[in-house]
Amino acid sequence: MKVTFINPPQTNSKYKFIGVVAPPLGISYMAAVLEENSYEVNIIDASALEMTWEDLEEELERQSPEVVAITALTPTIEQAKKTAQLVKKVSPHTTVVMGGYHPTFNHQEMLDKDYVDVVVMGEGEYTMLELVQTLEEGGDLSQVKGIALENQVNPPRPLITDMDALPFPARHLLPMDHYKMLNMKTGMATMITSRGCPMQCSFCASAALHGAKLRRRSPENVVDEMEHLVRDHDVGIIAFMDDTFTLNHRIVEEICDEIQKRELEVFWGCTARVDTLSDDLLDKMRKSGCITLFMGVESADQQMLDSTSKNITIEKIRQAFLLSKKHKIRTIASVVLGMPGDTKESIKRTVNFVRELNPSYAVFSLATPYPGTRFYKESVEKNLLKVKDWSKYTLISPVLDTVDCSLEELRKLQYKAFRNFYLRPGYLLRQVWMDGPILLKTVAGVIREVI
């Protein structure tokens, strides 16, 4: 049975702000599990390849898959639906499967369409394998755990406990030369070292999808994959996409030790909570190749931080950025503007606070409640949502009013935040000295995205 996974064209992502085009890790894992079980698999990353709908149609006609699985986030769900329609146009008898964050939490929305046959909910590796096996054998889909059908939601599939048992993602099926980080195309790849998140931030759906318990890979297995990326894919930069890579110091230190033990020459970046960093940890991370930290600042208002269950303090944020500068690690500050309790004054304080932190880069996102999050549930209950079009849920389009800001005012405040941060003469001089042409491309991309 031939299976094709598709990352739809024109994917919107918050990472566009900082010049990141990342491989679709989820479908790459699923493809690897199917290949491991002797299935013929292809991946079409239409977003990275900048394919048109005509290009995608031609490729589908050429491949003639029997099963097509499409990945979707909330801001890309319309592209995913259009992809599903295109599949049915090319081959009406092809089984169309939809998966990812948005379909998991809005499965009925998908199944109401006559062009989606099955929704995979949650982690998809072994669900997809059982689904394909059942289709091939003409079995009963109602017995497959972790899927939703037109008139039935099957029991959930247990979360994967042995993370080392998963094969490495099938990157040989991806256009690896099209991925980049900070606009650098020097061989970029993404990885995870864990799944699940014990933190309960109101705006994040990770715990709902992957569970609150952290499930880790062994340090040896993690560095095996890093070595594979350097050796077989000529990767020079790795971005760890864990929700919080730095949560457990001992594990991070063991990964760093293993990198140095093998004398692996590779640069890497990761996500980090500001309250999980220390001088010793950052020293070890830097010596093993860490060059970038992506940290959630969110707000300069402590009350706002508390309301989102972020459980960090303003002082911890300051300390984290000072420590990162000490160890010469680039920082990307992630900020949320326009939470329901925000005012023009609190937004101004947040923007000024970010300038005070002086990170290498900053991403000023507009508050966006995604399905599966507590933030979304509360926004629906309180009737806060002003926009119902999922394609606007991109973090750069306002979808809810604040105490004293209209949607249009929020848009202007976001643009002003980007402009005032990136177009400072002192900032430009410092970053050009450090990053040269990278900065110019990134700033141009930022301004282009928000205008």
Which CATH number characterizes residue 376's domain? Answer: 3.80.30.20
DSSP-derived secondary structure for 106-166: -HHHHHTSTT--EEE-S--HHHHHHHHHHHHHT--GGG-TTEEETTEEPPPPPPP--GGGS
182-197 residues labelled b (16+ CB within 10 A) or e (exposed): bbbeebbbbbbbbbbb
Please check whether residues 148 and 292 belong to one and the same domain: no
Q: Which two tokens stand for residue 169?
A: 């993602």
The C-alpha angle 131, 133, 134, rounded to 5 degrees, equals: 65
Query: In whole angstroms, what is the distance from residue 12 CA to residue 60 CA?
Result: 22
pLDDT of residue 15: 45
Are 113 and 189 part of one and the same domain?
no
* 230 and 328 assigned to the same domain: yes
pLDDT, tens digit, 9 for 90 and up, residues 54-92: 999 999 999 999 999 999 999 999 999 999 999 999 999
> Of 137, 153, 169, which residue sits at a domain end?
153
CATH code, domain with 99: 3.40.50.280
Contact criterion met (CB below 8 Å) for 397 and 386:
no
Whether residue 141 is contained in a domain is answered as yes
First CA to last CA across the chain, in angstroms? 46
Structural domain of 210: 180-450
Residues 143 and 286 both lie in one domain: no
Among 75, 86, 82, 67, smallest CA distance to 27 is for: 67
Q: Are residues 79 and 203 in the same domain?
A: no
**Residue 435 sits in the same domain as residue 291:** yes
For residue 236, being part of any structural domain is answered with yes
In degrees, to the nearest 5, what angle opens at C-alpha 401 toward C-alphas 362 and 305?
A: 50
> Does residue 237 contact residue 188 with C-beta atoms inside 8 Å?
yes
Domain final residue, candidates 153, 172, 203: 153
Report helix angle 125-137 to 25-36, nearest 10: 50
The count of domains in the chain is 2
Structure letter (DSSP) for residue 297: E
Task: Encode the chain (451 residues) as per-residue pLDDT tens digits.
Answer: 999 999 999 754 444 545 668 899 999 999 999 999 999 999 999 999 999 999 999 999 999 999 999 999 999 999 999 999 999 999 999 999 999 999 999 999 999 989 999 999 999 999 999 999 999 999 999 999 999 999 899 999 999 999 999 999 999 999 998 887 655 566 889 999 999 887 778 778 777 778 778 899 999 999 999 999 999 999 998 999 998 899 999 999 999 999 999 999 999 999 999 999 999 999 999 999 999 999 999 999 898 888 888 888 999 999 999 999 999 999 999 999 999 989 999 999 999 999 999 999 999 999 999 999 899 999 999 999 999 899 999 898 999 988 899 999 999 999 999 999 988 887 777 766 666 555 555 555 554 555 4
The amino acid occupying position 122 is G
Can you state the angle between helices 407-422 and 344-357, rounded to 10 degrees?
20
SS3 labels along 307-357: HCCCCCCHHHHHHHHHHHHHCCCEEEEEEEECCCCCCHHHHHHHHHHHHHH
Number of other CB atoms surrounding residue 381 within 10 Å: 8
* Torsion sign, CA atoms 394, 395, 400, 404: negative
Three-state SS letters, 37-69: CCCEEEEEECCCCCCCHHHHHHHHHHHCCCEEE
Distance CA 280, CA 293 (A): 15
The three-state secondary structure class of 390 is: helix
Q: Give, for 440, the enclosing helix (H) or strand (E).
A: helix 437-450
| Rounded distance between C-alpha atoms, residue 302 and residue 320, angstroms | 16
Q: Does 257 lie in the same domain as 125?
A: no
- Same-domain pairing of 83 and 232: no
